[in-house]
Amino acid sequence: MSQAVLETRALTRSFGGLTAVAQVALTLVIGELHAVIGPNGAGKSTLINLLSGDLRPSSGQILIDGASVGGLPAHRLARLGIGRSYQKTNILKSLPALENVRLAAQARHGGGRRLFQTARGARDLVALAEAALARVGLASASDRPAGQLSHGEQRQLEIAMTLATEPRALLLDEPLAGMGPEETERMVTLLRQLAADHAVLLVEHDMDVVFAVADRLTVMVDGRVIASGPPEMIRSSAAVREAYLGEATA
């Protein structure tokens, strides 16, 4: 079995008296799309915030390549190969698509690092940004102001911005939110392609999409994992149906 890029053990985060993420164990491996589902308030975004270093755990462990990294800030985890997209958009709308991606690459590779202050370094960043845009299918949109892209294209752009940080694990919080059927289909194809050479964690509400793309599902309710396994196992789990799926798919 391939080594986990990212793993959590008994990961817990409380906000005052509320435990948003409780004792969560999760494993992300390259080549696998791992979907995390659960009703609103289940703790999905909090889990992503913990894995990306945007929030510190209250207790429990986060491991990258088997080494404990809990408590490290987001920029350190980014350097260790953790990339994320946000539920709310991060795009600078007046700037061209390519420039948005280049800035994301620069932030990750350190504007301060001398390598990228040289002419050659600057070209490397542009090349990285162009490759990321091409990967999401936006090569022809590179000069367009990001604000003029369609909603779906802006979500693709956000993924390109994440890819430009050269992550091994991609944490995607509802990348399909607000998309029409065609945009959804394009994004689903992209997610499958990305999962070939990344460890992907996908938070998504649309159960048709989730069951179509996921290799593995983890179901959260009230901060806890109530089930985790391959889609067929989750679909037939009585506990999951009762707690969540039954109402969602009825």
Q: Give bridge partners of residue 64 from the DSSP assignment.
A: 6, 67
Q: Is residue 169 part of the contact set for ligand ADP (CB under 6 A)? A: no
Strand 169-173 and strand 82-84: the pairing is parallel
What are the start-end ranges of the E strands in the chain?
Answer: 4-15, 18-29, 33-37, 59-64, 67-68, 82-84, 169-173, 199-203, 216-221, 224-229
Nearby residues of 17 by Cβ (< 8 Å), 6 or more positions away: none
Can you tell me which of 5, 11, 32, 43 binds ligand ADP, judged by CB under 6 A? 43
Closer residue to Mg ion, CB minimum distance, 32 or 173: 173
Binding characters for ligand ADP, 44-83, by CB under 6 A (x = yes)? xxx-------------------------------------
Q: Which is nearer to ligand ADP, 42 or 225 (CB)?
A: 42
Nearer to ligand ADP (CB atom), residue 14 or residue 90: 14
| C-alpha span between 117 and 225 (Å, rounded) | 46
* Cα(99)–Cα(226) distance, integer angstroms: 42
The binder of Mg ion chosen from 27, 45, 100, 237 (CB under 5 A): 45
Comparison of 52 and 100: residue with beta carbon closer to ligand ADP: 52
Q: Applying CB under 6 A, does 98 fall inside the site for ligand ADP? A: no
Out of 1, 17, 40, 112, the only residue in the binding site for ligand ADP (CB under 6 A) is: 40
CA 124 to chain centre: 25
Asked if 213 interacts with ligand ADP (CB under 6 A), we say no
17 part of the interface to ligand ADP, by CB under 6 A: no
Q: Are strands 224-229 and 216-221 parallel, antiparallel or unpaired?
A: antiparallel
Please say which residue, 27 or 45, places its beta carbon nearer to ligand ADP.
45
100 binds Mg ion (CB under 5 A): no
38 scored as a contact of ligand ADP (CB under 6 A) = yes
How many residues bind to Mg ion according to rule CB under 5 A?
1
Binding status of residue 15 toward ligand ADP by CB under 6 A:
yes
How many Cβ atoms sit within 10 Å of the Cβ of residue 10? 12
| All residues at 6 or more sequence positions from 29 whose CB lies less than 8 Å from its CB, including other chains | 1, 2, 3, 4, 5, 199
- Interface residues with Mg ion (CB under 5 A) are 45
